[in-house]
């Protein structure tokens, strides 16, 4: 059980290092660079023959670049004789494109899932995978998937970091219920989930009966990309009387002026994990990942 080597891709060297230290196993980082013509150079710098390798590569912000590096690396590991490849992809992109809204659209989630198989990955370890239309990763993936969650650790860290009185945990929409529930259990708090409703032409987020007056509120979600959902949720909570609104997300992509939106919406503070490099990474997912690697 466990792995022999933790190998970091260029996206996640720091994380691979932390995981390897916890496991007390060999550690290395892929040698990579971009050629001037845009091609990616990949070299495995250690002997992997006959060994079980965890390849750690989160695929954030430039997912096509990191995906290309990953497939070059995993095929090379096999070619060099690695006995097994465990893919550790904390943030796995393309998972939201899992059904056709218009005819002819790529089912990118399914294609990326199949690509993992082509990469000869035996097990995929990921964190807070965004599954819309599927109940379990096994409906989408044919490789084994361990879908870890950071929601509990995030809630605990938020309570401590912000010195929160038992907060009201809020999931911005039905899909976030899974994370809100886990977060609430972790800190022994209540949770509510907002609903999206169509009123005339627009979609609006509406609340149920919860009274937020005078309460610390902690929004929990899996991904913050452009910040729209989180900002809208915070604005609503402030409007109905929440004095302080905090937020915690697993994957802080924070693209396209997201931080400006969050602060403009009155979010008092924000924390995230280190699944993606970001300046709000208070919680490391390394312990979760190390634990999962011990069990594969």
Site stretch for a copy of itself (CB under 8 A), options 153-161, 175-183, 214-222, 271-279? 271-279
Sequence-distant (6+) residues with CB within 8 A of 194 are 170, 171, 172, 173, 205, 206, 207, 208, 233, 236
Q: Of 191 and 270, which has the nearer Cβ to a copy of itself?
A: 270
Out of 2, 4, 22, 61, name the contact with a copy of itself by CB under 8 A: 61
Q: Which of 75, 78, 156, 196 is catalytic?
A: 196
Helix (H/G/I), strand (E/B), else coil: 217? strand
Q: Of 207 and 281, which has the nearer Cβ to a copy of itself?
A: 281
Residues 241/213, Cβ–Cβ less than 8 Å: yes
The C-alpha atoms of residue 234 and residue 267 are separated, in whole angstroms, by 6
The C-alpha atoms of residue 155 and residue 220 are separated, in whole angstroms, by 8
The C-alpha atoms of residue 220 and residue 248 are separated, in whole angstroms, by 5
Q: Check residue 286 and report its DSSP letter.
A: H
Site stretch for a copy of itself (CB under 8 A), options 59-67, 146-154, 164-172, 181-189? 59-67
What is the nearest approach in angstroms of a copy of itself to the Cβ of residue 187? Answer: 24
Helix (H/G/I), strand (E/B), else coil: 246? strand
Out of 253, 285, 290, 292, name the contact with a copy of itself by CB under 8 A: 253
Q: Of 64 and 138, which has the nearer Cβ to a copy of itself?
A: 64
Name the strand (E) or helix (H) holding 219: strand 216-224
Name the strand (E) or helix (H) holding 103: none
Which of the residues 127 through 166 are near a copy of itself (CB under 8 A)? none
Q: Of 154 and 276, which has the nearer Cβ to a copy of itself?
A: 276
Angle between helices 151-161 and 177-187 (to 10 degrees): 50
Does 190 interact with a copy of itself (rule: CB under 8 A)? no
Does 44 interact with a copy of itself (rule: CB under 8 A)? yes
Q: Hey, which residues are catalytic here? A: 196
The binding site for a copy of itself (CB under 8 A) comprises 8, 10, 13-15, 17, 27-34, 36-46, 60-65, 67-68, 71-73, 75-76, 79-80, 93-94, 97, 102, 104-108, 111, 114-115, 118, 201, 225-226, 253, 255-257, 259-260, 263-264, 274, 277-281
């Amino acid at each position: 059980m466990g792995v022999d080597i933790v190998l970091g891709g260029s996206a996640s060297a720091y994380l691979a290092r932390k995981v390897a230290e916890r496991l007390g196993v060999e550690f290395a980082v892929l040698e990579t660079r971009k050629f001037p013509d845009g091609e990616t150079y990949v070299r495995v710098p250690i002997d992997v023959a006959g060994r079980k390798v965890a390849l750690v590569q989160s695929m954030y912000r430039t997912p096509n670049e990191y995906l290309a590096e990953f497939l070059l690396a995993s095929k090379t590991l096999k070619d060099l004789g690695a006995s097994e490849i465990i893919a550790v992809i904390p943030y796995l992109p393309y998972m939201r494109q899992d059904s056709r809204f218009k005819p002819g659209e790529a089912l990118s989630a399914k294609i990326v899932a199949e690509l993992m198989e082509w990469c000869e990955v035996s097990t995929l370890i990921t964190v807070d995978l965004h599954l819309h239309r599927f109940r379990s990763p096994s409906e989408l993936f044919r490789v084994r998937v361990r879908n870890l969650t950071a929601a509990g650790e995030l809630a605990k860290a938020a309570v401590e970091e912000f010195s929160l009185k038992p907060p009201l945990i809020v999931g911005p929409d039905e899909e976030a219920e899974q994370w809100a529930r886990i977060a609430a259990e972790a800190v022994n708090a209540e949770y509510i989930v907002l609903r999206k409703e169509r009123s005339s032409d627009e979609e609006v987020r509406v609340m149920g009966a919860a009274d937020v007056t005078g309460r610390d509120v902690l929004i929990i979600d899996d991904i913050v990309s452009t910040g729209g959902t989180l900002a809208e949720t915070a604005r609503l909570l402030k409007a109905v009387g929440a004095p302080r609104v905090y937020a915690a997300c697993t994957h802080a992509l924070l693209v396209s002026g997201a931080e400006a939106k969050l602060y403009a919406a009155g979010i008092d503070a924000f924390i995230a994990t280190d699944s993606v490099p970001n300046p709000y990474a208070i919680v490391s997912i390394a312990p979760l990942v190390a634990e999962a690697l011990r069990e594969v």
